Chains A and B, each alone.
Chain A
Amino acid sequence: NAGVMQNPRHLVRRRGQEARLRCSPMKGHSHVYWYRQLPEEGLKFMVYLQKENIIDESGMPKERFSAEFPKEGPSILRIQQVVRGDSAAYFCASSPKDRGNTEAFFGQGTRLTVV
């Protein structure tokens, strides 16, 4: 059972370009969470999705950021018109439908650098 897969591992974008980050949850997991980690800081929650639904996007910036988790395929975190402040590590976590008191499984992250 492969773990949570994120790609790319490293992404370099120029200011104003778009960044697309992908996350394939573990097999059988239907819940996906995206987190952002700035240098020397902890992870900050961004968005929680189930298949075809955004459940909680309270941590998403109001502009330029969007996320989806289609019926087929990976979850996508999209950042439009990137700025230097978007440079960070973006982590995806997945969990089963009924997580209860169980851990969330994290991917290795995508490190976005905006130049």
Chain B
Amino acid sequence: SQQGEEDPQALSIQEGENATMNCSYKTSINNLQWYRQNSGRGLVHLILIRSNEREKHSGRLRVTLDTSKKSSSLLITASRAADTASYFCATDRPSNTGKLIFGQGTTLQVKP
């Protein structure tokens, strides 16, 4: 079964607003990663948060991790039209081979 599940599945906001996406997972993890995918393109790594971390920032991105609830959130502040893309969380499990388990993704549309 799919490890990660994101919600919402789709999100539409105006430029300048903040966008929040959530990810839930089922098993223990080594770390959780967020990726962006523009339509028809490859994946761009955004941020990695380790299981012993609770919050991480990178530019306009803020990621939180709650291992007790097995959930993570990605916040994009002051969104831009260029942020329009699909966003995926992926978990890397302990004692695993390094393979990532992806969620179904959140499609974000930022209207200019």
Binding site for B on A (CB under 8 A): 31, 33, 35, 41-45, 48, 55-56, 59, 91, 93, 95, 99, 101-109, 111
Q: Is the CB of B42 within 8 A of A108?
A: yes
Q: Is the CB of A56 within 8 A of B99?
A: yes
Q: Is the CB of A33 within 8 A of B99?
A: yes
Binding site for A on B (CB under 8 A): 2, 4, 30-31, 33, 35, 40-45, 48, 50, 88, 90, 92, 97-105
**Which residues of the partner chain B approach A106 to less than 8 Å between Cβ atoms?**
35, 42-45
Q: Is the CB of B98 within 8 A of A48?
A: yes
Q: Is the CB of A48 within 8 A of B100?
A: no
Cα separation A56 to B33 with both chains bound (whole Å): 21
Chain B's nearest CB lies how many Å from the CB of A25?
13
Cα separation A101 to B40 with both chains bound (whole Å): 28
Q: Is the CB of B98 within 8 A of A33?
A: yes
What are the 3 closest A-B residue pairs judged by CB atoms, nearest first? A42-B102, A108-B42, A106-B43
Contact of B88 among A43, A93, A95 (CB under 8 A): A43
**Which residues of the partner chain A approach B50 to less than 8 Å between Cβ atoms?**
101
Known: A42-B104, A48-B97, A101-B30. 8 other contacts (CB 8 A): A33-B98, A42-B88, A42-B105, A43-B102, A106-B42, A106-B43, A108-B42, A111-B40
**Which residues of the partner chain A approach B103 to less than 8 Å between Cβ atoms?**
42
Q: Is the CB of B99 within 8 A of A45?
A: yes
